A and B are shown apart, each in its own frame.
Chain A
């Protein structure tokens, strides 16, 4: 393990909060759900396309096949495009509504043994063994205390060395999205 600790102080901005929400939702969505929806989407697109080419007895039928293809594309792109956009919109509204509480200054300290965060309303000092999982998302690091509760670090405040240090700190609890 590298012999130093991380000490950072940052302000949670709207962009950080939105990025965190997208990463969190992406992590919390079960993989099976994503696979099932993509497979169903693929089936709908294929069946719709096949029917569109072969069965064209009336305008209503053509319309039905087109709708089936559209539903298929919707299902295919849901978790990659639609869900992140929905999460972003929701997070932006939530942040605006709770700006006073969310726009807080966070002090972060990670040493060889401890993970510590400090805000006005919440102080956490956890040994590595008490951390459930650390997830590296696209823009944020999510530190899960249990299956449900977590705190986050925006990647913008961490350099490559700090990221490696956190990965070393987490050990086998570190996971990339």
Chain B
């Protein structure tokens, strides 16, 4: 591992992603751009519908036979609320695991070269060059950096396990400075 600050080079290192890390990164991607996107407001809508149905049922002294439509809507809304808040993020994580298992490349060690305006990753089978402007989201969690975007919508995961203290600080500072709009620092996910 080397850190080269000459010739626009920010850092060079080898990175290998574990299944758990990729699954979490995919879950993050799904939360931001996938089916789980906007899950808070979607589940809130169903929660409000469920509350209204509950109110209607209480007006009828919880006589479920008298207002079957309200009962059915209450059940469906409650399920949808849970679906968006808890089930979808878990499903996304599982899908991330499936994708990792289906790929022969994701588990391979990659050589990263981070430069001022772009970064490249290279292994025995693949070479990718991405410019910072291609990236729509750069998310730093406690365990990794997740770079999303580009025309191929690929998720690039840089595990902090593979970085030493100095490299981690250099990278964090670089992403904050060079991807001002895209950079975000997150806490642990709720659906984890």
A122-B127, A146-B99, A148-B99 given; A130·B105 CB < 8 A:
yes
User: Chain B's nearest CB lies how many Å from the CB of A54?
Assistant: 22
Total interface residues in chain B, CB < 8 Å: 20
In the complex the two chains form, is A149's CB within 8 Å of B151's CB? no
Contacts of B154 in A (CB 8 A): 149
Contacts of A98 in B (CB 8 A): 151
Please measure, in the bound complex, the distance between the C-alpha atom of A98 and the C-alpha atom of B129, giving whole angstroms: 16
In the complex the two chains form, is B127's CB within 8 Å of A145's CB? no
In the complex the two chains form, is A125's CB within 8 Å of B125's CB? yes
Asked if A176 is at the interface of the complex by the 8 Å CB criterion, the answer is no
Asked if A123 is at the interface of the complex by the 8 Å CB criterion, the answer is yes
Among B99, B127, B134, which residue has its beta carbon within 8 angstroms of that of A147?
A: B99
Please measure, in the bound complex, the distance between the C-alpha atom of A174 and the C-alpha atom of B36, giving whole angstroms: 32
In the complex the two chains form, is A132's CB within 8 Å of B134's CB? no
A101-B151, A122-B128, A124-B125 given; A147·B102 CB < 8 A:
yes
Asked if A126 is at the interface of the complex by the 8 Å CB criterion, the answer is yes
Contacts of A102 in B (CB 8 A): 151
In the complex the two chains form, is B152's CB within 8 Å of A130's CB? no
Instruction: Give the number of A-B contacts (CB < 8 Å).
Output: 52
List residues of B (123-174) whose CB comes within 8 Å of A's CBs. Answer: 125-130, 134, 150-152, 154
Please measure, in the bound complex, the distance between the C-alpha atom of A121 and the C-alpha atom of B98, giving whole angstroms: 26
Contacts of B105 in A (CB 8 A): 126, 130, 145-146
**Most chain B beta-carbon contacts within 10 A, residue among A121, A125, A145:** A121
User: Chain A's nearest CB lies how many Å from the CB of B92?
Assistant: 12
Contacts of A126 in B (CB 8 A): 105, 125-126
Asked if B104 is at the interface of the complex by the 8 Å CB criterion, the answer is yes
Extra 15 A-B pairs, beta carbons < 8 Å, given A121-B129, A122-B152, A147-B99: A101-B134, A101-B151, A121-B130, A122-B126, A122-B127, A122-B128, A122-B129, A124-B125, A132-B103, A146-B99, A146-B105, A147-B95, A147-B98, A147-B102, A149-B103
